[in-house]
Amino acid sequence: MQNSVSSRLAEATAPEVATAIYAPSLGSFDVAALDRMCALNEAHALMLAECGLIDRDTAASLLRGIARVREDGPDKIDLDPRFEDSYFAFENRLGEVAGKSLAGWLHIGRSRNDIGSTLDRMLARDWCSHLLGHLLAARSACLDAAERYADTVMPGYTHLQPAQPITFGYYLANVARGLEREYERLAAVYPRADACPLGSAAFAGTSFPIDRQLTAELLGFSRVATPGLDAVASRDFVTELLWAVTSCQVLLSRVAQDLYTFTTWEFGSFSFPDRVAGTSSIMPQKKNMLPLEYFRAEAGRSIGALAGALSSVKGSNYSIGLDSVREGLADSWPAFARFAEALPLLRLVFETIKPDADKLLARCSENFSTATDVADGLVREHGISFREAHHIIGRAVQMVIARGEDASGLTAAVVNAAADAEIGRTFDLSDDTLKSWTDPVSAVNSRNKQGGPAPASTRAMITEMKQRHASDTSELESHRDHLRLSAKKLSERTSAFTG
């Protein structure tokens, strides 16, 4: 039996080869993939006609055939893995609709190599746009929550130990800044994917006088990809997008770990509505924060996909090959899909999380998180160095803890006893003054410099980040408008040929 796609091969593809290599990629050929394939072929047919490489009637017949294939949908395409990939399956279907001899004219000046690279770049652009849209929504929800809780005082933590008072709004403003950077990384992939390889053929171009710029414009690309070998052999825009996704997933995992800790019974300082939780099949009291566990797991899966992709590609030749352009990247596309599903969940987390403001404020008053403010007070009011003040207050805290008390036991007498032991002097210090230094709200409000947690400076940062969010939204819409306009022009030119 002859091979399904080439007379060079005297035997049909072995079932084992077809099943292991070709079938998996064909299984993902859906309506969206067909639409990209049809658009690519429409653009190429129009270009061939414009360049006089096929006559107008041939182009019109091809375009009508492509329209029929699109209308019939992927279910009418024979995705037998012996066709090797979606392009040959598409060409076979076009041959059934328009005639095999006519369909063969469409392959002038190109190869599966530049077709595959162009389709991957179109898909990467779509994923960039889709993911950026979801990330914009999550950033907006985070900024709204940061503004909502800009006055909600809570302990800040280092090494998961109480450190200094901040606000929950300040914490979220920091998360929003991180998300802003992750957005930049994702957005940076778009222009690198936005170059059209079509016309590079196998890698060395073609001797036919094609117009690559026209094809690129019809498909909404901003430029032509050159040189040809790099254009067809490199998929670093995919691994870069996967890196950007993985970087964001790592951030989300860290934030999820914080919130997971804060929602435990032992911390009990944050909560979510029941619709954002799971339960137990045996323990009736359970309210499990499964969405937060999900983010931690997804980061690990994304890291695995990235490591697998880079490990596969690094051993390939700098040319076309399964490991460099398809098999090595197979786990990337599902990783993008999972990230797209995770981002609306992230938005929901920001929208529904609720801090226990009273408990958080009480914790700040109990857990010595204002100790730095007491040391600062000694420096300002009593003329000692900060290191001396640090030692004094550290000893005072140790004395209070040794008595089994919380921060309310930090009195002027205790501070003076510690000062006498550390530096051999005491201070004219009242309990009222000490109380003012240990007030968490005052501690937060005093940190009102640029970037600090005071509500005013936090809101100033939020305002600036919302302006950046608006700018990012506008830029994304500009990309989307360009693709919509290009698709409309392609449709209009196709209709003019077939009308």
85-95: per-residue pLDDT in tens? 777 888 889 99
Position 82 pLDDT exceeds 80? no
CA atoms within 13 A on the CB side of 255: 25
Q: How far apart are CA 318 and CA 230, in angstroms?
A: 8
Using pLDDT thresholds of 50, 70 and 90, give the confidence band for residue 110.
very high
Instruction: Give pLDDT, residue 6.
Output: 58
Using pLDDT thresholds of 50, 70 and 90, give the confidence band for residue 78.
confident
Q: How far apart are CA 59 and CA 40, in angstroms?
A: 14
Q: How far apart are CA 479 and CA 372, in angstroms?
A: 49
Residue 286 CA, distance from chain mean position: 32
- CB–CB of 225/200 below 8 Å? yes
**Neighbouring residues of 286: CB distance < 8 A, sequence distance ≥ 6:** 279, 280
| Residues belonging to the active site | 159, 280
Q: How far apart are CA 252 and CA 242, in angstroms?
A: 15
Task: For tokens 């109480």, name the residue.
Answer: 162
Task: For tokens 């408008």, name the residue.
Answer: 481
How many CB atoms lie under 10 A from the CB of residue 42?
24
The torsion angles phi and psi of 156, rounded to 5 degrees, stand at -90, 150
**Residues 5-61: pLDDT tens digits?**
655 665 677 776 776 767 667 667 788 989 999 999 999 999 999 999 999 999 999
**The token pair that represents 189 in the structure block:** 């992939």
- CB–CB of 277/264 below 8 Å? no
Q: What is the CA radius of gyration of the chain?
A: 31
Q: How far apart are CA 35 and CA 32, in angstroms?
A: 5
Residue 358 CA, distance from chain mean position: 35
Rounded average pLDDT over 74-95: 79
**Residues 255-295: pLDDT tens digits?**
999 999 999 999 999 999 999 999 988 999 999 999 999 99
Q: Tell me, what amino acid is at 212?
A: R
**Neighbouring residues of 478: CB distance < 8 A, sequence distance ≥ 6:** none
First vs last C-alpha separation in the chain: 42
Instruction: Give pLDDT, residue 53.
Output: 97
Rounded average pLDDT over 384-391: 96
Q: How far apart are CA 367 and CA 97, in angstroms?
A: 76
Q: How far is CA 325 from each of CA 40, 192, 200, 317, rounded to the nearest angstrom?
A: 19, 16, 15, 11
